[in-house]
Amino acid sequence: MPNDLVLVTGAGGFIGGHLVSDLRRSGQRVRAVDVKPLDEWYQTFPDVDNRQLDLRERAACDAASAGAREIYNLACDMGGMGFIETHKAECMLSVLINTHMLMAARDPGSSRYFYSSSACVYAADKQTRADVDPLREGDAYPAMPEDGYGWEKLFSERMCRHFYEDFGLETRIARYHNVYGPHGTYDGGREKAPAAICRKLIAAQLGKQTEIEVWGDGEQSRSFTYITDCLHGTRAILASDIREPINLGSDELVTINQLIDIVEDIAGVKFKRRYKLDAPKGVRGRCSDNTMIKAKLGWAPSITLRDGMEKTYRWIYEEMVMPADKRRAYA
């Protein structure tokens, strides 16, 4: 079919790599773009148009989007709380990517544009308790998002809205809530809590240690979304008529201590916890309210944290312990 190309930006990252894989399985013709060299991508596929481009530059965005019917813009500079609290300016520079990608999508007339936003857009004063009320989409205003990364995401959401209003570009926005799973970062400083906890427990086992370090007091709370739920929701939102930002996240709220309990049970181990109270820890509590997505799509993320963490733990364990030729895929 003419004009059947689907573009995924940030395709060398965790969610982007899984999205490319999912689109391929459903028979889509895919172009995958990332700023990293191909040998640093989390997943690559030989039957995909893989390109290394810096999408902070307008010409690169024009080249990436040429001929694309649908665009999934997942590209940004981000990581876990340890990264975004110490790289605020770098995170905000991602606004160049969405700005230039929107302009590139508008000019040739792409039919649909998806923007991956974040729960970090939500107002800080609504996330001060561990037993937080689930965050509804309207809770992003009055604006008080996560400094740096959250402000960039909130501003880019507004750009998507105005590109629809002014130019008719059909934009869709999902606010991701702590997406995790296999084939993600588990060390190096950009990892999020589920992967970091798995790595710490595995490293402690291998090193015959008796304790692990926990950032904060362990009572900060979050909801975590397994990657396959994220993929299903992402594609459903792009295909829908939902023009306003919408939560894409689990509503299963746990504390970090409870998350550690789950991983310890999966691993069959128990460690003493050493709490690092001065470490980056973000808001006190954050959980997705799924009222809108249930009403609009008749669906919401449903994979339990226990099931998702078991697959994530097994994948990280094999990455850290087993030779490459003996590893299995967990999805």
Q: Which residues are catalytic?
A: 149
| Two structure tokens written together for 171 | 């934009």
**Quick check: 293 and 249 in contact, CB under 8 A?**
no
Residue partners of 95: CB distance under 8 A and separation at least 6: 152, 155, 156
**Quick check: 50 and 76 in contact, CB under 8 A?**
no
For helices 193-206 and 305-321, angle between their N-to-C axes, nearest 10 degrees = 50
Tell me the longest C-alpha to C-alpha distance in the chain: 61
301 prior amide bond cis, ω within 30? no
Which of the 8 DSSP states describes residue 11?
T
How far apart (Å, rounded) are the C-alpha atoms in residues 174 and 99? 17
- Label the pairing between strands 29-34 and 49-52: parallel
How far apart (Å, rounded) are the C-alpha atoms in residues 101 and 96? 8
- Label the pairing between strands 211-215 and 272-276: parallel
Q: 3-class DSSP state for residue 114?
A: strand
